[in-house]
Amino acid sequence: MTPLERPVDPALMNEAQKVHTEVYLREGFIGADDLDENGLFIDEYTDRSEPVVVQLGSKETTIRMIHATKKEGLLSLPTPKHFEVDPDEVRRIAKVSRLSDIKPRQAVEISGLASIALSETTSTTDVFDATRQVYATGLRRSLDQGHSLWTMNVDTRLQKSLALILGKEAITQIGEEQSYMGPATIPVALNPQAVVESILTQKGGRYADMNRADIAHTLGGVSERHLPSHLIKLLHDNDIETKKGNLLARAVKHKKALGYTGIILYSTGRAIPVAMIPEFEGNPFVFAGIDVGTALTQVLGMEKYLTGKRVATRMGGAALAVGSLIAPYGYVWLTGEDYPPYVNAIAGTLIGGAVVGEIAKSKKDRKIRNGLLSTDISAV
């Protein structure tokens, strides 16, 4: 099943494939034997690719956004799969504390930049403008879909062009140059939100105003669903309108506030069944106060557990979260007799779950890290 979030227009896909096929044949990347019965080049990534096609001036330019699979995630994309790349740089660019936090729907590969002439007279300006616009369109789609990582492998010339189009600090080399489907290319990565922020804040430079104008035109009406508040404000400061999501989508953005609210309501509600336990001799309002009071430390502990960079930090967070969960029952132990046995079972389950969860996350992290550090092509 394709991981694409929305169906691809068959006509648009066909047009993009025609451009790719023409250019790949011309450059010698593929031969006649690589074409299907329709004379088009189809590879293993086609069924999970989203084409971006721009016709500007006398040029038609295309790229494709290859989406990661749910099973392999980041390692299903061409550059992470075939190149040896720096795992820590990838994690930093995606702005996550651990590699397993990069969800499959958040990572895409941008590949297959190709242009064909629509007339016999094609200027250098047409080529550069079309390239700039096709990447701006890709950025718009990534902001709408919540992508936090682009991976690419590019030649030196395209790397320099992208530095002009996207900003020098926006694109990062994540590995060494290697030969892959043609001349040697360099593995690079970027964060789409960081790139848009860089373009809108860059000062001076020959292309700064041009890039801002392209982004402003392309991002008009972009969804706020996946955007942080500071980026929304920056867009508005640059007179770029945004589209608010429905109430549920906006609420999901504030996960921390939802977490606090849910825990407080849950904690308050637990005081009722505790008050009905015959052996309980304490005050249910004190129990509720302890329960609500430890809600903050519970959330803090879970944050440390889920986002901590070190194992000790994550395990400390798990201990804090579990301790906060069982603290109200400590009050029950001190103010009554014959403590209900299910409380011990709950506490044991929480501790065991935290340990099992940490082991599972660590194993997944190691698998991704080892995959990124390996390569199946020879270095130049």
CA 289, 290, 296, 298 dihedral sign is negative
**Predicted confidence (pLDDT) per residue in 64-121, tens digit:** 999 999 999 999 999 999 999 999 999 999 998 788 889 999 999 999 888 888 776 6
Which tokens hold the place of 123?
A: 């200027």
Give residue 238's region: left, alpha or beta (phi > 0; psi -120 to 50): alpha
Which tokens hold the place of 154?
A: 């590019």
Using alpha carbons only, what angle is made at residue 191 by residues 185 and 194, rounded to the nearest 5 degrees?
130
| Gap between the Cα atoms of 42 and 21, Å rounded | 9
Q: What is the DSSP letter of 104?
A: G
Helices (H), the chain: 10-27, 78-82, 87-94, 124-145, 156-166, 192-201, 208-219, 229-237, 247-253, 255-275, 284-293, 295-307, 311-334, 341-372
First-to-final CA distance of the chain = 36
Longest CA–CA span in the chain (Å) reads: 92
111 strand-pairing partners: 64
Residue 170 has pLDDT above 90, yes or no: no
- Of 75, 152, 85, the closest CA to residue 112 belongs to 152
Please give the share of the chain, as a percent, with pLDDT higher than 70. Answer: 77
pLDDT band with cut points at 50, 70 and 90 for residue 268:
low
Which tokens hold the place of 144?
A: 């709408």
Report the pLDDT value the prediction gives residue 366, as an integer from 0 to 100. Answer: 85
CA 193, 199, 202, 205 dihedral sign is positive
Report the pLDDT value the prediction gives residue 375, as an integer from 0 to 100. Answer: 76
| Gap between the Cα atoms of 86 and 375, Å rounded | 12
**Predicted confidence (pLDDT) per residue in 330-371, tens digit:** 787 778 676 567 656 765 675 577 567 767 777 888 899 899
Chain position carrying tokens 């492998």? 153
**Average pLDDT score, the chain:** 81
Q: Which residue has the higher pLDDT, 10 or 272?
A: 10
Angle between helices 208-219 and 192-201 (to 10 degrees): 130
Report the pLDDT value the prediction gives residue 358, as an integer from 0 to 100. Answer: 65
* CATH 3.40.630.30 for domain 10-219: yes
| Gap between the Cα atoms of 229 and 237, Å rounded | 12
The one-letter amino acid at 106: Q
Which tokens hold the place of 183?
A: 């001349």
Q: Which residue has the higher pLDDT, 279 or 236?
A: 236
Backbone angles phi, psi at 37, to 5 degrees: -65, -20
Kind and range of the H or E element at 179? strand 178-179
Which tokens hold the place of 129?
A: 């403008």
Which tokens hold the place of 20?
A: 């790719």
Domain ranges for the chain: 10-219, 254-367
Q: Among 14-28, 217-231, 312-326, which stretch is predicted with the lowest mean pLDDT? A: 312-326
Residue 229 has pLDDT above 70, yes or no: yes
**Predicted confidence (pLDDT) per residue in 81-96, tens digit:** 999 999 999 999 999 8
Angle between helices 255-275 and 295-307 (to 10 degrees): 130
pLDDT band with cut points at 50, 70 and 90 for residue 321:
confident
Report the pLDDT value the prediction gives residue 279, as an integer from 0 to 100. Answer: 66
Using alpha carbons only, what angle is made at residue 294 by residues 288 and 295, rounded to the nearest 5 degrees?
90
pLDDT band with cut points at 50, 70 and 90 for residue 141:
very high
| Gap between the Cα atoms of 38 and 1, Å rounded | 23
| Gap between the Cα atoms of 53 and 133, Å rounded | 10
189 strand-pairing partners: 151, 172
Chain position carrying tokens 């430390």? 297
pLDDT band with cut points at 50, 70 and 90 for residue 186:
very high
Report the pLDDT value the prediction gives residue 132, as an integer from 0 to 100. Answer: 84
Chain position carrying tokens 């080049």? 41
